[in-house]
Amino acid sequence: MNIAIVTACPNGQVSSVLSARLLAAAAQRRGWKTCVEVQDAEHPERQLTPAQVADADWMLVVSTGPVDLARFAGKRLYQSTPAQALADRDGFLDEAATRAQVQPALSTRDLPPAAKVARIVAVTACP
């Protein structure tokens, strides 16, 4: 099995890194192939590549804040928190693998009205 793990904890990178490492290790002990993204606003280049997302059998998102799930449309996805994921990593992975559901694609009709309107930001300066 090939899974992609995404962790995001805006209150502290420690729980993101810890969750990513412990879950990846538990998955690898099972013989699963993993790729990991620890979301970090200072390093957006560390995101999973589109190829890694496409190759994953399912996605695991462990976070304490919002995560943009649009790029996972069409993939099986399970979302949880670090507290739930780390309490019993092996049991959690079993549950996540069986309960992961296909992430629907968002269309413009799914967006709030304000998001459908084109937005322009203009900055001018005169000496």
DSSP annotation of 108 reads: G
Give 18-67 pLDDT, tens digit per residue.
999 999 999 999 999 999 999 887 777 789 999 999 999 999 999 988 88
Does the active-site annotation cover 35?
no
Say if CB 21 and CB 15 are below 8 A apart: no
Query: Among 51, 118, 121, 126, which one carries the catalytic annotation?
Result: 126
What DSSP character marks residue 6?
A: E
pLDDT score at 36 = 95
> Which of 44-48, 70-74, 99-103, 104-108 shows the lowest per-residue confidence on average (mean pLDDT)?
104-108
126 is catalytic: yes
Domains and CATH numbers, the chain: 2-116 (3.40.50.2300)
Give me the catalytic one of 9, 36, 56, 93.
9
Contacts of 77 (CB under 8 A, 6+ apart): 58, 59, 60, 61, 69, 100, 101, 102, 103
pTM for the full model? Answer: 0.79
